[in-house]
Amino acid sequence: NRQLVLAERPKGEPTKDTLKLTEASIPTAGNGQMLLRTVYLSLDPYMRGRMSDAPSYAAPVEVGGVMVGGTVAQVVTSDIDGFAVGDYVLSFNGWQDYAVSDGAGVTNLGASPDHPSWALGILGMPGFTAWAGLTQIGAPKAGETIVVAAATGPVGATVGQIGKLLGCRVVGVAGGQDKCDYAVAELGFDACIDHKADNFPAQLAAAAPDGIDVYFENVGGKVLDAVIPLLNANARIPVCGLVSQYNATKLPDGPDRMNWLMGQILRKKIKVQGFIIFDDFGHLYPEFAKDMSTWIDANKIKYREEIIDGLENAPEAFVGLLRGENFGKRVVRVAQG
Ligand code: NDP
């Protein structure tokens, strides 16, 4: 049973010493348990937070512990009703080949789901995050302008496409021309601006001539800086993530703009609300699942995945995700299903 364990807490970007590949024996499932073999491991930005022991909404992974992570697995042996050998399940095996489960928190996807790995993306946590953050906090009305960064990732791409279905103007922000072209040509965004361009703030302003009503916050940093002056009165900011800051070791230099920001929020009556998807919106999951499967069946939502082969390649693929090297939802194929 190959396992990737947290060898040390990273300072800044994780290095080759952060995670170590180790080998343990394959566990045996007892009464009322099942043995799961990981087929796909999801890579998600929140995992950087679990490597750190800074205060957060969830406990960190212990040093020496197996890295946590969402997985799609197959049942190898089962002593649980409703889980048969060969079934695909959505589980939380972490970064390892095998795990034993008592079935708690595990969803059976059936013997032959169409796209097993999609349960880690558009049909799972990231898709739900986009749907809930946008509809419950962003609450866009037709004709309003939405801005979302990490626009081709699983959350951002879904936010933008739902925004279009709701009749909004959608402006994406992404790293590089290829991603921006994809957001407009394939995902149907009205515009997409490369945050690496020198005149990024001016380009963003030109793409949002009527101002910004909903800023779906995925990244923070210079995108947030460029957005704030463009926000309209009564704008909403669902604060979903701040991926540009996840490897940061200190606050950026510069004048303290905390009170300037609060002044903007006050004068423009802006609503800023953070959320942790399952804590805040778990009860809405069935509604999301119904909406999303309807949209996918009707070809109204597109989904792009990037498969990385081999558990041993997961650490490097994860560092690349935080750098923006992924193009679409990054998933590791740990075994052939
Ligand atoms: P992505 O697959 O989109 O990966 C992160 C992307 O962030 C990168 O591909 C890159 O895209 C972008 N990025 C990285 N650094 C910067 C930077 N300095 N400036 C601008 N963009 C940058 O991730 P997800 O779709 O899985 O997640 C998106 C966000 O949602 C994350 O912040 C994540 O933490 C958050 N999240 C929050 C949840 C919650 O419950 N609150 C649940 C799930 C996700 P590019 O190259 O285009 O810049």
The tens digit of pLDDT for each residue in 212-260 reads 999 999 999 999 999 999 999 999 999 999 999 999 999 999 999 999 9
On the question of pLDDT at 102 being above 90, the answer is yes
Is the distance from the beta carbon of residue 223 to the nearest atom of ligand 1 less than 6 Å?
Answer: yes
* Inter-residue contact 39 to 337 (CB < 8 Å): yes
Which residue, among 84, 135, 138, has the nearest Cα to 111 in the 3D structure? Answer: 84
In this prediction the pTM is 0.97
Which residue, among 112, 12, 13, 3, has the nearest Cα to 316 in the 3D structure? Answer: 13
Q: How far apart are the first and last CA of the chain?
A: 17
CA 180 to ligand 1 centroid distance, Å: 15
Domain segments of the chain: what residues? 2-118+305-333, 125-279
CA 270 to ligand 1 centroid distance, Å: 23
Q: What ligand 1 atom has the least distance to the C-alpha of 243?
A: 32
Is the distance from the beta carbon of residue 154 to the nearest atom of ligand 1 less than 6 Å?
Answer: yes
The tens digit of pLDDT for each residue in 270-282 reads 999 999 999 999 9
pLDDT for res 337: 85
CA 166 to ligand 1 centroid distance, Å: 23
**DSSP of 25-58, one letter per residue?**
PPP---TT-EEEEEEEEE--THHHHHT--SS-SS
**Which CATH class, in words, describes the domain spanning 2-118+305-333?**
alpha beta
Read off the amino acid at residue 223.
V
Which residue, among 71, 124, 60, has the nearest Cα to 97 in the 3D structure? Answer: 71
Is the distance from the beta carbon of residue 48 to the nearest atom of ligand 1 less than 6 Å?
Answer: no
Is the distance from the beta carbon of residue 39 to the nearest atom of ligand 1 less than 6 Å?
Answer: no
The tens digit of pLDDT for each residue in 116-174 reads 999 999 999 999 999 999 999 999 999 999 999 999 999 999 999 999 999 999 999 99
What is the average pLDDT score of the chain? 98
Mean pLDDT of 293-314: 98
Which residue, among 305, 297, 292, 301, has the nearest Cα to 186 in the 3D structure? Answer: 301
Contacts (Cβ under 8 Å, ≥6 apart) of 26: 1, 35, 97, 98
pLDDT for res 93: 98
Among 131, 218, 247, say which to mutate for ligand 1: greatest number of ligand atoms within 8 Å of CB: 218
Query: Per-residue confidence at 268, pLDDT binned at 50, 70, 90?
Result: very high
Which residue, among 85, 90, 57, has the nearest Cα to 71 in the 3D structure? Answer: 90
Architecture category of domain 125-279 in CATH:
3-Layer(aba) Sandwich (3.40)
